[in-house]
Amino acid sequence: MAPDRPPKNIAEELSEFGLIDRIRTWLSPGDDARIIAGIGDDAAVVALDEQHALLITCDMLVENTHFRRDWIDWTTLGRRAAAVNLSDIAAMGGKPTWALVSLACPPDMQTADFSALFAGLRDELAEYGAHCVGGNLSRTAAELVIDVTLLGEQLRECILLRQGAKPGDGVFISGFLGAAAAGLALLQQADSALLGRFQSLVNAQRKPTPRIALGQALAASGRVSAMIDISDGLAGDVGHLCDASKVGVLLEENRLPGATGIEEVARRLGIPLRELLFGGECYELLFTVSGPQEDDFVKMCSAELEIPLHRIGTIVPAAAGRQLVDLNGQIIPLPGAGFDHFCRR
Amino acid sequence: MAPDRPPKNIAEELSEFGLIDRIRTWLSPGDDARIIAGIGDDAAVVALDEQHALLITCDMLVENTHFRRDWIDWTTLGRRAAAVNLSDIAAMGGKPTWALVSLACPPDMQTADFSALFAGLRDELAEYGAHCVGGNLSRTAAELVIDVTLLGEQLRECILLRQGAKPGDGVFISGFLGAAAAGLALLQQADSALLGRFQSLVNAQRKPTPRIALGQALAASGRVSAMIDISDGLAGDVGHLCDASKVGVLLEENRLPGATGIEEVARRLGIPLRELLFGGECYELLFTVSGPQEDDFVKMCSAELEIPLHRIGTIVPAAAGRQLVDLNGQIIPLPGAGFDHFCRR
């Protein structure tokens, strides 16, 4: 596996998702027939028996990459570490069950910090019926690392994957877009008046709300063809769904539901609104529904669960690419490719 | 949960294991009847159904805490990250199944490094029938962090916990003691002649051999009352077994099976032999067997599996404490308390 050219570091050679593709090849699980979905979905899915599947996911928060300690309190950080994993289980339509937490702790962490962190983690998990059953503690020289592994369960026939979308399917999104991206921009700006005025956007950045009930309801409905959370940003993640489903997509900018306040934040901070709408750290669910009456079905779900659900576009054949009808009616390539840990933008 | 005295950092206030006790309280899972063993065993155990249990463990390797990049190649590091987790599944008597790996990657990691790391991880897992099904990649500023989560399975009635040892039970250990500790001392010394001469000790430090087949055979035998791996050192881990089983222990120093070469390493490097025998990063299994004919049973296992197994002492009532009969026949407290991430020694 030695390279046949001078070694390059990953930022020069591969994007994060290019690297994940390579890793999938390197780790090819061979002949394990119990693996239903391996590397490359929101969570791995393995068969427990004829009917039941186990979901497994992990998500790591690294200080100064995913959070800054002066931007978030310990309890909220604990909740966030749980929430980002809960969202991965939600995106498969699963029911979260058990978690493990690994911490690499810098030397200045105090007992009260641990207590608050674990209280947040415990409470966020418990809200969705999950419990922490183990973990691991280590020292690190500087940056705090929190890695949570979360298991979930679901009937095999109900699991929703990224693959399965078909041309003609409607593309829907839960909730509203851009809150976390606007919150991040506000935190970076550090204007205390603005931070106070747009507190709900800042809080959306600090701690997302995982869409557990929605994910399970959509899984049970039998009407959804594919699903993903958009934590890497709308364009990147709809792209992952298109990759897995071997389809294209046409989104409509005038249908994208912006969170309350993001237009004003965009104007005040001089950020294009589109950048917020397509920003990362948004843990809403994007899902596709086949006809007939797909819009009526989704309207009914929205009313029953009291969760806003909006149609934002349509799945098209792969050859038609991934495009956006912009506010002027022009068709342009989908902007942005999502957050990539290995590319600086 | 705020402290009622000036905040202290954990190194001042609590040991690693003191902190784990606190965390167990903070995370108390309440009324989840499916949790058979939570925080505080080698792996968590949850019930899948009436007969079957799922094992879940995670172990994090932090650069400069658990390894140095100039002491180990990437492939061996990948194997080690898998092996330390495999050992936790072995210590419960389980069969390893699926793994997830989270990496926080420093900017200087090259594609070839990833390739070698994942090849080692994949091959070590595959040797024991397990596969990697997912994971997570992040950036970090400096230190590489590898967190592996490993699942396993076993019949509920066969699972071996740390609790269950009874006074009178024989205490047995697999393999030989002190190889990893001697290897670490040799790496720290960095004398290339000595490193060459004692390569097998150095290799034992770099990559332990998880005792998967032994763990499963002991679990299936129905004769073992409690089991643990001694990755935190013999004294610390036999102490954890005593805590969980509410018993004491009497070990005999003249029965401790030292790895080939450690006496010479101890002499040449001026380290007390006992320090090596009780050193950390030893991934042998320590288990307790009730009479009658416990020694005959273990001899038979050893012959069948072709793994050396030695009796090193006896479980005693809790009130008798945790003691060692030293080479002079004196009874002394068990030396050392195992590796603690939050105490400097």
Residues B208 and B322 in one domain: yes
Largest Cα span, chain A: 59
Strands A145-155 and A95-105 turn out to be antiparallel
A330 contact B CB<8A: no
B138 token code pair: 């992040």
Domain boundaries, position B40:
32-157
Q: Which residues contact B25 (CB under 8 A, 6 or more apart)?
A: none
* Contact between chains at A56 and B132 (C-beta distance less than 8 A): no
Confidence of residue A341 (pLDDT cuts 50, 70, 90): low
Q: What is the pLDDT of residue B74?
A: 97
Q: Which residue has the higher pLDDT, A343 or B70?
A: B70
> How do residues A94-110 score in pLDDT, each as one tens digit?
999 999 999 999 999 99
* Contact between chains at A143 and B142 (C-beta distance less than 8 A): yes
Give the whole-angstrom CA distance, residue A263 versus residue A266.
5
Average pLDDT over residues A173-192: 95
Confidence of residue B28 (pLDDT cuts 50, 70, 90): confident
For the cut 70, the answer to whether the pLDDT of residue B23 exceeds it is yes
- With a CB-CB cutoff of 8 Å, which residues 129-148 of chain A face chain B? 131-143, 145, 147
> How do residues B47-99 score in pLDDT, each as one tens digit?
999 999 999 999 999 999 999 999 999 999 999 999 999 999 999 999 999 99
- With a CB-CB cutoff of 8 Å, which residues 78-107 of chain A face chain B? 97-98, 100, 102, 104-105, 107
Averaged pLDDT of chain A? 91
For the cut 80, the answer to whether the pLDDT of residue A324 exceeds it is yes
For the cut 50, the answer to whether the pLDDT of residue B166 exceeds it is yes
Output the domain CATH number for residue B218.
3.90.650.10
Q: Which residues contact B130 (CB under 8 A, 6 or more apart)?
A: B82, B86, B96, B97, B98, B99, B150
3-class SS of residue A114: helix
Average pLDDT over residues B333-345: 59
Average pLDDT over residues B7-27: 70
Taken in order B315, B318, B319, B324, is the CA torsion positive or negative?
A: positive
Largest Cα span, chain B: 59
* Contact between chains at A98 and B44 (C-beta distance less than 8 A): yes
Confidence of residue A162 (pLDDT cuts 50, 70, 90): very high
Fill in the amino acid letter for A130. A
Task: With respect to residue A148, please indicate whether it lies within any of the assigned structural domains.
Answer: yes
Q: Among partner residues B14, B16, B98, which is closest to A56 by beta-carbon distance? A: B98
Give the whole-angstrom CA distance, residue B34 versus residue B46.
5
The alpha carbon of residue B46 and the mean position of all alpha carbons in its chain are separated, in whole angstroms, by 21
Residues A133 and A187 in one domain: no
Residues B100 and B150 in one domain: yes
Residues A136 and A176 in one domain: no
Name the helix (H) or strand (E) containing B221: helix B212-221
> How do residues B187-230 score in pLDDT, each as one tens digit?
999 899 999 999 999 999 999 999 999 999 999 999 999 999 99
- With a CB-CB cutoff of 8 Å, which residues 163-202 of chain A face chain B? none
For the cut 90, the answer to whether the pLDDT of residue B11 exceeds it is no
- Contact list in B for residue A32 (CB cut-off 8 A) is 131
> How do residues A202-218 score in pLDDT, each as one tens digit?
999 999 999 999 999 99
Looking at A105, A129, A158, which one is the last position of a domain? A158
Looking at residue A319, what DSSP letter applies? G
Task: With respect to residue B20, please indicate whether it lies within any of the assigned structural domains.
Answer: no
For the cut 60, the answer to whether the pLDDT of residue B309 exceeds it is yes
Task: With respect to residue B25, please indicate whether it lies within any of the assigned structural domains.
Answer: no
Residues B323 and B178 in one domain: yes
- To the nearest whole Å, the CA of A210 is away from the closest chain B CA by 18
Give the whole-angstrom CA distance, residue B154 versus residue B53.
6
Residues A122 and A233 in one domain: no
- With a CB-CB cutoff of 8 Å, which residues 111-130 of chain B face chain A? 111-112, 114-116, 118-119, 121-122, 126
Residues B144 and B180 in one domain: no
* Contact between chains at B46 and A98 (C-beta distance less than 8 A): yes
Output the domain CATH number for residue A83.
3.30.1330.10
Of A123, A134, A49, A116, residue with least CA distance to A86: A123
Q: How far is CA A58 from CA A20, A34, A92, A264, B264, in A?
A: 14, 19, 14, 35, 45
Strands A95-105 and A131-139 turn out to be parallel
- Contact list in B for residue A48 (CB cut-off 8 A) is 48
Residues B189 and B249 in one domain: yes
Residues B42 and B65 in one domain: yes
> How do residues A131-147 score in pLDDT, each as one tens digit?
999 988 998 988 999 99
- Asked if residues A125 and A78 have their Cβ atoms less than 8 Å apart, the reply is no
Sheet strands (E) in B175-270: 224-229, 247-252
What is the per-residue DSSP string for B136-186? Answer: EEEE-SS--EEEEEEEEEEEGGG---S----TT-EEEEES-BSHHHHHHHH
For the cut 60, the answer to whether the pLDDT of residue A340 exceeds it is no
- Contact list in B for residue A2 (CB cut-off 8 A) is 112
Q: What is the pLDDT of residue B5?
A: 43
Residues A323 and A174 in one domain: yes
Q: In what order do the strands lie in the sheet with A322-325?
A: A224-229, A285-289, A170-174, A309-317, A247-252, A322-325, A331-333
Task: With respect to residue A276, please indicate whether it lies within any of the assigned structural domains.
Answer: yes
3-class SS of residue A281: coil
What percent of chain B clears pLDDT 70, i.e. is strictly above it?
A: 92
A342 contact B CB<8A: yes
Task: With respect to residue A340, please indicate whether it lies within any of the assigned structural domains.
Answer: no
ipTM reported for the complex, 2 dp: 0.90
Q: Among partner residues A20, A122, A133, which is closest to B137 by beta-carbon distance? A: A20
Q: What is the pLDDT of residue A337?
A: 52
- Asked if residues B79 and B121 have their Cβ atoms less than 8 Å apart, the reply is yes
- To the nearest whole Å, the CA of A67 is away from the closest chain B CA by 12
Task: With respect to residue B195, please indicate whether it lies within any of the assigned structural domains.
Answer: yes
Looking at A124, A158, A192, which one is the last position of a domain? A158
Looking at residue B320, what DSSP letter applies? G
**Number of helices and strands (H, E) in chain A?**
12, 13
For the cut 80, the answer to whether the pLDDT of residue B10 exceeds it is no
State the distance between the two ends of chain B, measured CA to CA, in whole angstroms: 30
B192 token code pair: 């290339």
* Contact between chains at A27 and B132 (C-beta distance less than 8 A): yes
Task: With respect to residue B47, please indicate whether it lies within any of the assigned structural domains.
Answer: yes
Report the range of poorest mean pLDDT among A223-237, B131-145, B299-313: B131-145
Residues A153 and A206 in one domain: no
- To the nearest whole Å, the CA of B292 is away from the closest chain A CA by 35
Residues B135 and B198 in one domain: no
Looking at B96, B122, B157, which one is the last position of a domain? B157
For the cut 70, the answer to whether the pLDDT of residue B344 exceeds it is no
Confidence of residue B2 (pLDDT cuts 50, 70, 90): very low
* Contact between chains at A35 and B131 (C-beta distance less than 8 A): yes
For the cut 50, the answer to whether the pLDDT of residue B173 exceeds it is yes
Give the whole-angstrom CA distance, residue B151 versus residue B99.
6
- How many residues comprise chain A? 345
Q: How far is CA B316 from CA A91, A175, A231, B166, in A?
A: 52, 61, 55, 7
B6 contact A CB<8A: no
Q: How far is CA B73 from CA A324, B68, B114, B202, in A?
A: 47, 10, 11, 13
Confidence of residue B115 (pLDDT cuts 50, 70, 90): very high
Q: What is the pLDDT of residue A342?
A: 53
Report the range of poorest mean pLDDT among A138-142, A173-177, B61-65, B104-108: A138-142
Q: What is the pLDDT of residue A308?
A: 98
Q: Which residue has the higher pLDDT, A324 or B11?
A: A324
Give the whole-angstrom CA distance, residue B211 versus residue B129.
13
* Contact between chains at A145 and B104 (C-beta distance less than 8 A): yes
Fill in the amino acid letter for A120. G
Helices (H), chain A: 10-13, 16-26, 74-91, 111-127, 179-189, 192-197, 199-206, 212-221, 234-245, 262-269, 273-277, 294-305
Task: With respect to residue A315, please indicate whether it lies within any of the assigned structural domains.
Answer: yes
* Contact between chains at B30 and A131 (C-beta distance less than 8 A): yes
Give the whole-angstrom CA distance, residue B161 versus residue A184.
46
Give the whole-angstrom CA distance, residue B56 versus residue A116.
24
Which residue is listed with tokens 């004919």? B293
Q: Count the domains in chain A.
A: 2
Q: How far is CA A213 from CA A120, A164, A286, A345, in A?
A: 20, 21, 14, 35
What percent of chain B clears pLDDT 90, i.e. is strictly above it?
A: 81
| Whether the bond into B292 is cis, omega within 30 of 0 | yes
Fill in the amino acid letter for A312. I
Q: What is the pLDDT of residue B341?
A: 54
B183 token code pair: 């290897």
- To the nearest whole Å, the CA of A146 is away from the closest chain B CA by 10
Which residue is listed with tokens 């010394």? B189
3-class SS of residue B290: coil
For the cut 70, the answer to whether the pLDDT of residue A130 exceeds it is yes
